[in-house]
Each structure stands twice: as C-alpha cells, then as structure tokens.
Amino acid sequence: MPTFVVRATLLIGGILGIAAPTVAAQQSAATGPIIGASTPDSLATLVMQTFSTGTPEAFAAIFPDSAGRVFMRSRAPKQSNLAQVIWRDRGRAVLLLAGTTRDGGGGNQTNNARHFSGFYSAAESGGVWTVTHQIPFDSANYIRSQGLAVDIAPGKAIAVVDTLILTIGAPYGFGFRINNDVKFRSIRLDGKSVAYAFGGGVVWVPTPRKARATLILEYSLAAERRVDSAATPAFGAFHNTDMWHPAFDYISGNHLAQISITARIPAEYQLTTTIPQTVTMSNGVRTVRGTSMHAAFLLALIFDREWTPRTTDFGDFRFESFTTPAFRYPHDTLAARTKYVHDLLARRFGEPQSPSRYLAAVEDRALGASGGFNVRMNNAAISGGGGGSLGSESGQVFAHETGHAWTMNASGRASNFLHEAWAKFVESLVLRDMYGPAAETNYWEATRTSYMVGNDRSGWAGGFEGRQSILGDFDNGRIHYMKGAWILRAANWAMGDSTFDRGMRYYIEGMGGTPGGHEEFVAALSKAAGHSMASFVMPWLTSKYIPDVEARVEGDRLIAMQQQPGETFDLPRLEVELTTPTGKSIRTVDLRNRAATLIIDRIGPVSEIRVDPNHRYLLQRHWGEMVRFELPVSKLTGAQSVQLAATFLRQGVTLPATKSGDTWVVEVPLSEGRYSYVWSTADSVGARGGDAGRGGTTDPALTGTRVVRPLQHVENPYPGR
C-alpha cells in the first residue's frame, strides 16, 4: 500500500533501499552467561572488535542486546567506530559503543546503526566486567530547541550552523544521532570548544549535568542523492531520514523541540522547510524562514526550480502547494481536498495539535516519479513526482497524509501505532463520507485480511497473528496499519462516538508541544470514559494474538469465552447473534474476562450462534464457506497447469487448480470476508496474491472478487493459515 509513515521510517527500507533491522522485543534467552573482560576499557574494545570481525555467535556471547545482535548478523560488512568508557564508579560503567556498515552513505550508515550505536551499561562481578543492557539514547537528556542556519548549494552540499538548547540530565554527557557523513567544523558547548567523539552515526559530547546548555554545531554535508547529473540539478532534497541535523532516534519524545530555520538558496529555486515559512529575496538569494508551530524533531529541505508555489487560506489555516506545472493535481483541487479532510475531522476531533494550522502539499521529485502522496514530514504531505492518485474507493492516501496532523507528535514505543493507526482510521472516515458505508466496510475487511496474511518489509511474509505485537514491533512495522487501525475502530465502537471523540480530543490537545505516548493515549480515553481504559487498550498493544471468542447457549444462559493464547481482552458491547425458529436477534455481552454469562429468556432452540456478526472487533473468525473457484478452460487456452493467487493467501503463495472436465477448480475453506483473486498459468510469473484484482495489466476475465458469507463453521480457514 502506498500509505506510509509519518516521518518516513519506512522510507529507510522502502525508498532508500536499505534493510532496516527488525527489532525483536525480547532479549534472546537462548544463549548462556554473557562473557566479559577484566576492565571496562578492554570490554569496550572486545565488544567492538567482535562486532566488526567476529562471528554472530561470538558477538552474542559478549553482547546481550537483541537489536544489536540482529544488526551485527546482517550481511553488510561492518566497521567499528567508537569504543570508550565515558563514566564509571566502583562496580559500574557506561560505555559508548558505536559502529555501522562500511558502505551505504552517511544517512544509511546512521539509520542502519540506530538501534546499536549508543550507550551501554556495564557491571563488574567477581573481577569480570560485562555489558548488561543498552541505555536509551535519550535517557534524562532533552533537545529543547534547534535554531538552524542553512546555506544550500543545490547538487553540492549544505552548510549548517545549528544552535541547540539542551537539558543534560545524564551523568555521562550528551549524545545525539546525525548523518555519518557530516563534516564538523566546530562543536561548542556554552561558548567553549569541546572534545567530542563522532562515529557510527552518533556524536558524544562530554559534559556535566546542566539544566540548560547551549550547543552550537557548525558542519557541512555533501548532497548524497544525485538524481540529476547536471552541475546545478533542477531539484533535490535532504529528507528527515537523511538525519541532516540532530535527533535521538525516530520515536523519542525528548527531542521534540521548537525548531526555527533560516535557509538560503539561489533565487531560482523554490524551497520548503516542511514547516510554516516566509520568503524574502535579495541579491539573487532566496531566504526562507520557517518556524515550527509545535514541537517538531527533524525537518526536511526539499527544493525545485520548476515549482510554482501557491497558497490558500481557510480562516487562519494556511494551505500551500509546491508542485511543478506537470503535477497531476492543480492547487485548487489539493486545497479543496485539504479543507474537506480538515473539516471532516475537526467536527469530531477538534483542531490538529493546536496550533498546527498549516499544511504543505509537496511534489518531491527526488523521490522518483511514482508513488503519489506517500509520506508525511512535519507539516508537509509529500508525493513522488507526477502525483499518483489522491485516493480511491479502496483507500485515501492524501487524506491519510493530511490526517497525520492530528497525532503528529505521538512518541515512544507506540508512536507508529498512534501515527499510522490514526491515519488509517482517518481513511475509513473519508471513505464512509465519500462512498458510503459499504466502501468503509470493504476497507476494514481488506485491512483485516492484510493483517491475517501479513507481509512485512523486513522480508518475511506470513501473517502477523501469533508473531508480532504492536509494542514488540515498534520500529518499522506494517502491523500498525492493520491491527493498529482496528484498535481505534474497536475503541470507537466500545466507547460510542461522543465518548471516543472526547477521548481523542483529550489526547490530541494534550500533545500541544509535549510528547504523547500510549500512556497518555490510555489516560485520555480513560478521562473521557470515566473509568480506566487500560484493560481495553493494553492487551491489543502487548499481545501477539487477537481475541478468539466462542459462544454457546445453555438453558437461559448465553456463555461467551475467550480462548486465544496469552492476554485476556476486555471486549465491551460484544455482539452475539442468535438464530431461533422465530428469527435472528442480537445480544450484547460485556466480555471482560475469560468468560462472561448473560441471562437470556428461554428463547427456544438456538440453531446458530455467531460472535460479532457486524465485525466491530478484529477477532478470529470461525464462520465462512467452502468456496469453489472455477475457471473455464477456454479462458487460458493451452495451459498445462493453472493456479489461483488471492488476497487471502500470503505473498508468494498460490493454490494449484485441478482440471474437472472443461473447468479449472480450486476449493478452499474461507472465513467470512471479501477477497480478490487472479488465475494464471503456473509457469507465468508475477501473479502474486497481493496484486490480485488491483488492476494493472491483469486480464479482467481472470480476476474477480468473492464475498464469503458466514454459512457454516469452517475449520482452519484462510486467511491466516
């Protein structure tokens, strides 16, 4: 799907073409005691030598952190950069360990190492020092503001002076991440040059604790992304994922800072700083001054000689487009769509993080000529060159990127959930409004199917169920777009519109300048509900499983039970449909524990019991059909073997058809839902389930959509097996 990521963490894997390490939530328990060294210094050296030249087994024996182990195991050759003891007392020490891939350019090097390079705690026991755990990079340290002065030489480099106001609460100094190719001219802390360490994508500045310190960085960074061989290219960009100025990582709340920027570029270029900005011209130089209206973390600089920027104000909301004349959508279309999404959301959820009343729509030709609107950076919704699609009956990419404004400052381990689940939820609201409830229903069904078959960017395909949790895959996961979105849909159902909307407003308003993690999200919903919503929200975030509910009737009692492994869910207002000789009726059960009993009248024999018939929740489904897919042999003349690909199958999986007379046949148990499929000859290439029915070059005679009804209990159905 072309919808992603606020602040582009998926860009790292998806567009910049590197493999982002998947972070496992838990430490591996498989290895024995961690090996150590006789001093903290020799320990630091040993770890980094093993990182760059040892075997994965040797590294795992000395290094307990699972994310670092995953990175070390990746195939790209590594380099060791920093191995220092930066603090110690009798039995404890803090190590600065940094290393990254040898190749890839500075932005990729920094991103590749972002779960590894950093601070580690070491402890001594019986004369042996061992690494105990990673110390989160932002522990007790804050970036309060950044004041950037940037000179842009398109196609060549940027020269930067960044004045940061910091709070330094850690006893071992201050660290930040930045593009590994940055060339520092000076680093000054409170007016004095400091001896800093830089490598593996991190900078460490030794300093005592300070409630307020001023750090001034002077550096240059060469243009990495050469998209055009001309001496002065028509366009270019320094994206947030290029880490061209300091941050802790992609999810910290501690670096959400007031950011101001003064950027200078030759006057023939237009420039967006991705935050509200003003422009002045003098002596052939365009000077762009931007000020973040709320705390932000990393800016992008995107420029183009062909843009004709235009603005439209709706009251005190400003919309600005930066597009070339060839862009598919004119300014007025984009402005009208922006206002439409804004008004639709504001009616229910208020204004986005007040006062974030600015949106830029940017054609970023440095992203290539495809993709449409697919990423959000601060106040900018960003499209690849040309424009793609604003949305369709199956998804609303422009509304997705616009809607990000409401939870833009979400932070912490649930930040991708709070960003992407929300933006996907926004799409559903727009679909309902534009196309009606059937389109919205189809969207949620497709989102569920995607969760069940699952395809993760880190390479494996095979369903998220039982394999990932939201908090366990905080970094880059696709799970947030699917299961995450369903959590908001379920909360909306469980709480009702007015309470849910109030809860979201509390959460959104609370983020004006301060971080908002899942703790704040739970607190906001709880405040609106008048009771704690933790038991409702948390199992969805921590469990690798979705609820699996069965119900039965015994006499005058309806008994509902959760039977999934792991966490017990709180499922209020769970609907159960009972079929009796007099018809169907829906009972509502608050299933807050493993089992709940509802007293019902003696209603006579119950022939069918269906849990959640209206799909309010993301649940395991036990009802469906044995579905027979048939293709006349004449549709694929001469084919020796035929296969079916479908959205209910995992990527790369197809089902072989059997020939019955003049018909190819596939028979398969399917759970209730709506699925697309495509037939192909077994020797043809490119028929993937994920592409089924999504247009393109596929022959319409070979594709279709199948609605599967809840006609019978089916054992082990697709999708999800």
Token pair recorded at residue 397: 């990419």
Contact yes or no for 702/642 (Cβ under 8 A): no
3 state DSSP class of 549: strand
Q: Segment near Zn ion (CB under 5 A), from 4-12, 40-48, 108-116, 188-196? A: 4-12
Helix extents (H) in 97-190: 106-112
What span, in angstroms and rounded, lies between the C-alpha atoms of 668 and 718? 8
3 state DSSP class of 410: strand
Token pair recorded at residue 438: 């059937």
> How many beta carbons lie within 10 A of that of residue 716, not counting itself?
8
If the CB atoms of residues 422 and 569 are measured against Zn ion, the closer one turns out to be: 422
Cross-strand pairs, 197: 204
3 state DSSP class of 25: coil
Q: What minimum distance in Å lies between the beta carbon of 404 and Zn ion? A: 6
Total of residues contacting Zn ion (CB under 5 A): 3
If the CB atoms of residues 7 and 610 are measured against Zn ion, the closer one turns out to be: 7
Sheet holding 174-177, edge to edge: 174-177, 202-205, 197-199
Q: What minimum distance in Å lies between the beta carbon of 177 and Zn ion? A: 22
Contact yes or no for 67/21 (Cβ under 8 A): yes
If the CB atoms of residues 303 and 474 are measured against Zn ion, the closer one turns out to be: 474
If the CB atoms of residues 286 and 480 are measured against Zn ion, the closer one turns out to be: 480
Token pair recorded at residue 156: 């060549």
If the CB atoms of residues 415 and 654 are measured against Zn ion, the closer one turns out to be: 415
Q: What minimum distance in Å lies between the beta carbon of 175 and Zn ion? A: 29
CA distance readout (Å), 103 to 75, 96, 106, 323 = 12, 22, 8, 34
What span, in angstroms and rounded, lies between the C-alpha atoms of 494 and 512? 27
Q: What minimum distance in Å lies between the beta carbon of 705 and Zn ion? A: 26
3 state DSSP class of 32: coil
Contact yes or no for 614/419 (Cβ under 8 A): no
Q: What minimum distance in Å lies between the beta carbon of 420 and Zn ion? A: 5
| Residue whose CB is nearest to Zn ion in the complex, by number | 423
Tell me which residues in 384-443 interact with Zn ion (CB under 5 A).
Answer: 420, 423
> How many beta carbons lie within 10 A of that of residue 184, not counting itself?
14
If the CB atoms of residues 334 and 657 are measured against Zn ion, the closer one turns out to be: 334
If the CB atoms of residues 4 and 297 are measured against Zn ion, the closer one turns out to be: 4
Q: What minimum distance in Å lies between the beta carbon of 221 and Zn ion? A: 27
If the CB atoms of residues 423 and 714 are measured against Zn ion, the closer one turns out to be: 423
Q: What minimum distance in Å lies between the beta carbon of 609 and Zn ion? A: 38
Q: What minimum distance in Å lies between the beta carbon of 661 and Zn ion? A: 49
If the CB atoms of residues 119 and 417 are measured against Zn ion, the closer one turns out to be: 417
> How many beta carbons lie within 10 A of that of residue 424, not counting itself?
26
If the CB atoms of residues 398 and 569 are measured against Zn ion, the closer one turns out to be: 398
Amino acid letter, 348: R
* Phi, psi torsion values for 427, nearest 5 degrees: -55, -40
Residue 619 interacts with Zn ion (CB under 5 A): yes or no? no
What span, in angstroms and rounded, lies between the C-alpha atoms of 315 and 303? 28
Residue 121, class by beta-carbon neighbours within 10 Å (0-12 exposed, 13-18 middle, 19+ buried)? Answer: middle
Q: What minimum distance in Å lies between the beta carbon of 391 and Zn ion? A: 13
Contact yes or no for 301/244 (Cβ under 8 A): yes
Q: What minimum distance in Å lies between the beta carbon of 511 and Zn ion? A: 17
Q: What minimum distance in Å lies between the beta carbon of 575 and Zn ion? A: 31
If the CB atoms of residues 419 and 448 are measured against Zn ion, the closer one turns out to be: 419
Residues that bind Zn ion (CB under 5 A): 4, 420, 423
